[in-house]
Amino acid sequence: MPACSNQPLAKHQRLETVQKTCSTNFCQSHKLLHDKANCECFEQALHAHQINKAVHPETGKLCEHPTLLQSSDGNHWQESICKEIGRLAQGYPPTVPDGTNTMFFIKFDDIPAGRKATYLRLVVSDRPTKDNPRRVRFTIGGNRVDYKGDCRTKTADLSTAKILFNHVISTPDARFMTLDIKDFYLNTDMPHCEYMRIPVSSIPAKIMKLYNLDPLVHRGAVYVEIRKGMYGHPVSGCLANDKLVQILQKHEFVQSDLIPGLFKHKTRPLCFSLVVDDFGVSYVGKEHADFLIQVLQENGYAITHDWTGSIFCGITLHWDYANGTVDMSMPGYVEKL
């Protein structure tokens, strides 16, 4: 195997360049490197690709969380980190009274022999349609997780969504709405525990005190044991999707054999496109959409919904059911670029 290039990547260099300098496997569907040699190209590429940045309120530029903490919104971003850790761990009262028990803080010596801790990727993004528009996500450095099983997940693509939009405006009395499952990845058990290193610089003082983490610090970091699916782990999406599909099948939802992520009900005028944890739902009669909501809630999923169906897959939708049209747009996209 050729050695990986040690030359630093240019700030805006694309991942395709890394593919040429490193002999790791390249996933075309997710544009990610699956690094089996533990080389450093993957981490360099992540910084270059700007997939973990949000807009600075003063400069208008994309930046990462250390810079955001120094902005006028710094307190809000700091609080978002506290909420994220509380959500993954055992809570952050009073705003997050109960965590998901996805991860537990442990001593470094508690990591089993032969197991290595992967690194933390702290992802920040602006999500204006969410309850907390300043989103922070703790994700696993998945390229250093040695998982040998099947990680493939069937999800719908943009073409499927557009076909569904046409289906809605072509079907008499049909309407469109969206659903979103909260903490989708965090409610499935892992085949085995994983371990992750979190730098103390990424943990707010409130969390250090709440969880009494000072005694657990080892060489400038705190370690966690991950017991449930978590963002970034290669198998998290597969496990969460398989669990959801099994539940849907019990209630007579059938997934297309030809089009991944497209479901319809056997007897109800109801179909939807599933993209990870986002549902784009076509229905004739509100009671049928209510049925889907009830199925999800009764099986332990916390959901949010939008009856206007105004945003799906990042596309803003303006429905004119009377005239049978839907206008699609992405306001502000060009300006942000």
pLDDT band at 234 (very low <50, low <70, confident <90, very high): low
Q: Which two tokens stand for residue 197?
A: 């290193």
**Are 126 and 133 contacting, i.e. CB atoms less than 8 angstroms apart?**
yes
Q: In sequence order, what are the residues at sequence separation of 6 or more whose Cβ sits closer than 8 angstroms to the Cβ of residue 79? A: 95
pTM for this structure? 0.60
* Spatial CA neighbour of 193 closest among 55, 255, 101, 87: 101
Task: Return the higher-pLDDT residue of 169 and 121.
Answer: 169
- In order of their start, the domains of the chain are 15-49 (no CATH), 52-148+189-231 (no CATH), 158-185+237-336 (3.30.70)
pLDDT band at 200 (very low <50, low <70, confident <90, very high): very high
3-state SS, residue 105: strand
Q: Which of 37-51, 126-140, 193-207 has the highest mean pLDDT?
A: 193-207
Average pLDDT value for residue range 241-252: 90
Q: Which of 33-37, 181-185, 249-253, 257-261 has the highest mean pLDDT?
A: 249-253
3-state SS, residue 177: strand
